[in-house]
Chain A
Amino acid sequence: MAVGEEKAKNRRGVRAWLNPYHYNAERWAYLFQRVTGLAILAYVLGHLGDTSFFVGGPTGTGPSPSAWSFIGSIFENSFGHLILILVVLVLFFHGVNGVRLVLAELGLIFRKPSAIEYPYRPRGLGYGQRAMIYVGIAIAVAAAVWAFLVLFEGMG
């Protein structure tokens, strides 16, 4: 492979994330970890903004019931609650999958490496990792249902 060609191949950037060809569950989890991370950061920045209205917003000087009531009138509705449920969904997936990544980084959930044979599945990943991905999805869905019950049914 020519140097320029190799360099071009390594510069696919975000486009490489979006090519699902030959993706396995771990690769999908990698993609979703990043996408959910960016989504959560966007929410956190918005949350920093809306909670600042508790003290009157960017120019406030102390706790302000009127400013808090104003921001509540914008976000405390069905659409706002739907966003919160989505945030809970991605937050729990990101959290559980993040724990999997930390355990993988520490080498705790890898199997011993062995000779690669047909059909060339990555043997070192083991069943623990894949199980954690599915557990993460299950916990995220359960948390989203819980959030729905809290926000729409008044549970809690």
Chain B
Amino acid sequence: MKESRLMLIQYATAVAAVALVSVHLVMQGVIYPYATAISFSNILSVYRNGFYAIFLEALLVVVLVHGFNGVRIILQELRQTRSWTRLVDAGTVVAIIVTVAYGTRTVILAVFGGVSV
């Protein structure tokens, strides 16, 4: 993918992240008192509200793409050899896939998994 397009993704995810993180923080410290927000029963009801589960998944993808693409940009500035560029690009894709997969697993299990004792 062209570098200009990757920068466009960086800016688009930045704007999206500002909106999504703001909502997330409001949910954690304004709408509910913090102690209630992090209680097991509240989190379970939040995850099992379909809209908020989709919101959390979107937050996960946006923040991780923005974060790892940011690290990629920093690393690309340090060296400009072809092998380094390929290594960093490949590492970024792997890091995004692995972390999004792990976070998505949490969302899926929280929504569909049976509650243990």
A21–B33 Cα gap in the complex (Å)? 45
Q: What total count of A-B pairs have CB within 8 Å?
A: 113
Q: Which residues of A contact B102 (CB under 8 A)?
A: 48, 52
Q: Is the CB of A55 within 8 A of B99?
A: no
Interface majority SS on A: helix, strand, loop or mixed? helix
Residues 1-24 of B, flagged 1 when their CB comes within 8 A of A and 0 if not, give 000000100010011011001000
Q: Which residues of B contact A34 (CB under 8 A)?
A: 70, 74
Q: Does A45 contact B (CB under 8 A)?
A: yes
Q: Which residues of A contact B68 (CB under 8 A)?
A: 41
CB-CB nearest in chain B for A14: B78
Q: Is the CB of A68 within 8 A of B40?
A: yes
Interface centre among A34, A63, A102, by most chain B C-beta atoms within 10 angstroms, is A63
Q: Does B29 contact A (CB under 8 A)?
A: yes
Q: Is the CB of B71 within 8 A of A41?
A: yes
Q: Is the CB of A150 within 8 A of B67?
A: no
A62–B15 Cα gap in the complex (Å)? 33
Q: Is the CB of A62 within 8 A of B67?
A: no
Q: Which residues of A contact B117 (CB under 8 A)?
A: 65-66
Q: Which residues 63-78 in B have Cβ within 8 Å of A in the complex?
A: 63-64, 67-68, 70-71, 74, 77-78
Contact residues of B with A, CB < 8 Å? 7, 11, 14-15, 17-18, 21, 25, 29-30, 32-35, 37-38, 40, 43-44, 47, 60, 63-64, 67-68, 70-71, 74, 77-79, 99, 102-103, 105-106, 109-110, 112-117
| 16 A-B pairs whose Cβ atoms sit less than 8 Å apart in the complex | A13-B77, A38-B70, A40-B67, A41-B67, A41-B71, A44-B64, A52-B105, A52-B106, A56-B109, A63-B44, A63-B110, A65-B40, A65-B115, A102-B11, A147-B29, A155-B33
Contacts A63-B116, A95-B17, A102-B15 aside, 8 further interface pairs with beta carbons under 8 A come to A34-B74, A38-B74, A48-B99, A52-B106, A63-B110, A66-B116, A66-B117, A88-B25
